[in-house]
A and B are shown apart, each in its own frame.
Chain A
Amino acid sequence: MDKFTGIISDEKFSKISLAVAQYPKSLVHWEELLNYLISNSLPLNRSLDHRLYELIETTYDSMLSHFPYTENYYIDHALFQYKLGKVSKMHAVYQQGLKVFSYRSLHLWISYLKLCNEVVTSNKLLFQKYETAEKYIGLHYFSGEFWDLYLQQIQERCQRKERYFIILRKVLEIPLHSFSRFYAAWLRHIEEVQDVSQLNSFSSNEDLMKKLKIDVTYRGRKGPYLIECKKLLKKFTKELYMVVQYQVLEIYSLFESKLKTHYYSGPATLLPAVEVEIWDKYLDYTMSQRLDSLTHLNFQRALLPFAHYDIFWLKYANWLIDYSDDIASARNILIKGLSMSSKKNAIAKLLYATLCRLNDYDFLALIFEQHEDAHGDHIENVDDFEVFWDYVQFQTFCSSVTKSRYSKSELHSFMTPNVLDVILKRLSLQESKIDQLLLLSSILQLQTKSNTTFIEEKIFKHIIRSNWEFFLQNGQFWSLYSRLTFFNSSLSYLEKRRHIVKNIWLQGKRYNIKNLEPLREFCQSYLPEDIDALEEIFET
C-alpha cells in the first residue's frame, strides 16, 4: 500500500474528514485535518506523491475559502508550495491572500517580501512589489520591519544613494512603534558625511540653501563649515523627532498599548469588549487625522479580529460614504461584511440603501432573490422582525418602477401583490411569530391619505374575514383599526366617529378581547367624548 492510500484509508482520516464535512464552519476540524495530512507527508519535498500534494492543496484552498481571514494559513500554504519548488504557486497563494485583505495585511506582506528577496532576481519586479506594499501598509504602526527590509534591499541592490535617503526621510515622518531606530540611522548618516557636497543626501540643494543657508558648493575652509552644517541638519532632525515622538506616544498610550488581539480567531471566540471600544475610538482618531490610506489600513486591521462583528463593517462603510463620498466602495465593503459578519441586519439594510443610491436595482433584486432562496421561498418565516420589515420596505420600493403616486387606481398603487402576499402570510402565522402587532403598527405608520382604503380592505378586513383570533382578541388590534379610521381623510369627522363606534367597536365586542387598555388610550388621545360609549359597549 502506498503512502497516499495509507493515509486516506486510515480510520483517523475518515473520522477527521467526516467532521470537516459535517461542520465546515468549525476551524478546529480543518486544522486537525491539515495537521494530520502534513505530519503524514513528511518530509515535504519534490518527491511528494502527486495525489497527496493535490489533496493538501485543495484542503488549504477549501479551508481558506471558509476562513478567508486566517492569515497564517496563506503563509503555511505558500511555504508548502515553496518547499515543493512551486514558486509560481507560492506567488499565487500570497496574491490570493493579499487580495482578500485588499492588500492591507502587514503580516502577509512581510512574509511574502522575505521570500521574494530570495527568489525574485529582477530588481524592477522586486521593487514593484515593495512599492505596492508601501502604498498599502507603509503607514502601519508596526511597519518598522517592512521598512527595514525595504531599506536593506535598496542598499543591497541599488547603486545610487538617493532612493535610500528618500525612503528613510519618508519613514522619519511616519509614527511608527520603532521610529527611533530610523532616526538613529539618519543621524549616523549625517555623522558619516565627509564633505559638504554629500549633504544633498538629506534634502535638495535649493531647500538646504533656502531654509538652512547651507551651500553644498561651499569652497571655503570646509572643516568648521561642515561641523556647522551638521549641527543645522541635526537640529531639524530633532524637531522632526519631537513631532513624531509626540504622535507615537499619543497613539501608543491611547490605543496601541491596549490592543492585544491582532489576529483572526474564528466566529466562536468572544473578544474582550474593551478592545471593540478601543478600536472604535482609535478609528475615530484615525479618521480625524485625515490620512486616508491609514484610515483604510486601520479599518482593515480592526476587521481582522472583529470580522464577525457588524460594527466595524458599518463604520467602514459609513466613513466611505460620508467622508470619502465613495458609495461604490462602501457597497463592496458591505457585501464582504454581509458574508463575514455574524449579525447581518444592519449591514444588509445599509447595503440596500447604498444600492438604491447607486441606482443598482438589479443587484438589489438579486440579493432579495438569494434572501428568499435562503428561506426556501418562505421569507415570511424569518424570525427577526427587522429583517422581514427591511425586506418588505425595500421590496416595495424596488417594485415601484411601475407605480406612480398619481396613479388612478389607488387600491393597487401602494403595495405590489407579492409584497402584500408576504405580509398576509406572515400575519397568518399569528402567535407563532413575535412582534406581529409591531408589524401591524408599522404598516399603520405608512398610512397616507391615498392608501388608507388599501390598508383597511386588504389587511385589517382580511384579518377579520380570516378570523385570526390572535389579533381579534387583542385590544391593540382594535385600537390600531380605530386609529386607521380616525386618520382616514376621506371620511368626515362624524363618519369616522360613527364608523369607529358602531362598526369597529361593535364588531370587536364579538370577540373575547383581553385588554381594553389600548382602546382606552386611543380614546384618551383622539376621542375622549366616546370613552363612555366604549365602556358601555365592552362593559358586559
Chain B
Amino acid sequence: MSIVTVQLGQCGNQIGFEVFDALYNDSHCPQGLCSKRENEVYQESCKERFFSEEENGVPVARAVLVDMEPKVINQTLSKAAQSGQWKYGQHSCFCQKQGSGNNWAYGYSVHGPRHEEPIMNLIQKEVEKCDCLSGFFIIMSMAGGTGSGLGAFITQNLQDQYSNALKMNQIIWPYGTGEVIVQNYNSILTLSHLYRSSDALLVHENDAVHKICAKLMNIKQISFRDINQVLAHQLGSVFQPTYSMEGSYHYRRNPLGDLMESLVPHPEFKMLGIRNIPQMCENSLAYSTFTWTGLLKHLRQMLISNSKMEEGINWQVRPPLSGLPPLGKVSLNRELHFNTSIANLVILRGKDVHSADLGGFKDPELYTSWLAPVNAFSAWKTQRAFRKYEKSAALVSNSQFLLKPLDTIVGKAWNMFASKAYIHQYTKFGIEEEDFLDSFTLLEQVVASYCNV
C-alpha cells in the first residue's frame, strides 16, 4: 500500500525533501546487514510505499508540493533532480506568487478556497498512481501562514473527499521564541482545525530537535537543514518497512493503518511523538557498540521521564507504585514528572532483533488505567539495519509528552488574545474572535483530557 505525501509551505517542502532523501538512501544503503534477498524485499516495500517508477527507471516520490511562493519549491525540485537518484514528478507542484504572510487566515480563507481545485486535482492524480492507497502524510509547520492555514484547509478537504483514507499530519512545532510573532495564534488555529479533520498529529518540536543537533550530533553552527535531517531520520526509522509477523520475511503492508490502530485508541487523544536511539554523528558511530538491553532501557526511561534524547535523562523518575493511592490529577504548575502513556509503539531494526526483550514497555504502570498493556503496546521489527546503525530503536508514543508545550502555546495565545493584539489581521480575512474562542475551547479540552489520563 502506498502513502501520498503532501508537502506544504517552506517548512513542509524543505522537510519533505529530506524525508524522501533519507528513505531512498536508507533503502539503497549497502550496509543493510541482511541477506541480499531480504534487502531486495525491503527496497521493494519501501518503493511501493513512497515512490512510483517512471519509464527511465528513476524513482519518483509519491508527493505533491504546495507553496504560495515559488522560491522554495524551485529549490526543492532542483535539489531532488541534482541527487540523480530520485526525483519529484514533473507535474506535482503547485505554487503561487504571493505567500500567506504568516497569516493563518490568509492561508485558510483566501488561498485555500481560491486554489482548492488545482491542488486537489494534483493530489488525485498522485492517488491514481497508487495501486492501493494507505493514506496521506501531510507535512506542515504550524507557525506560518501557508503550511498552517492552507494545510488545515487541505486536510479538511482530504477528509471530505477521501474519508476512507487515513490522514496523518506531520506538524512542526515552532521554537518557543524567535520564529514568527503570531505563531501562537496560528498554532491554536491549526491544531484545533486538525483535531477535527486529521486522524493523528505527529509532532516534532523544533526546540527538541535543535538540542539533538547540538548535543548528540555535535553540530556547532546548526542550520535548518541539520534540523530537518534529524527529523527525516526519525520519520524514516518509523516508516521504513518492518515485518508483518514475528519471524516472517513479509513486510507490513499498511503502515499508516497499523500505526493508527495501535496508537490512536480514542479520538480525543491523537498527538503522537517520536523518540529514537541511538542518534549520533557518523564519526562517533564507528566507535560505538550497542546491546538491545541497553538501548531499550534508555528508551524506556526517555519515555517515562519525557526526555526527547538520550542525553540528560532523568533516572530518578519512576512509575507510581501500585497499591498506593493514586496521586490524583497532574498539576500543570508542578514539573510534570512521570509521563503517562496512552499507547506506545516500538520499532526495532537490526541485528538479533528477535532477542530483544520488550518486557519493560508492557508494564501496566506506564499506561492509563482504561487500556490494558496488551492493547496499549505494540512492536514492529526487522532484521534489516537502518542506515548505518547496526541496531536502532524508535518509539512512537501517544502520551502526556506534549501537555506542557501545548499548555504553554494556548496560554501565550490567550494572553495575547485578551489584549486583542493582532486580531485585526485575522478578521481582515474572515477569521473572527468567535473562531479563536472555538479553538481555545477545543484545545483547553484536549489539555484537560491529556492531563487526566
Are A and B interaction partners? no
Interface residues of A (CB under 8 A from B): none
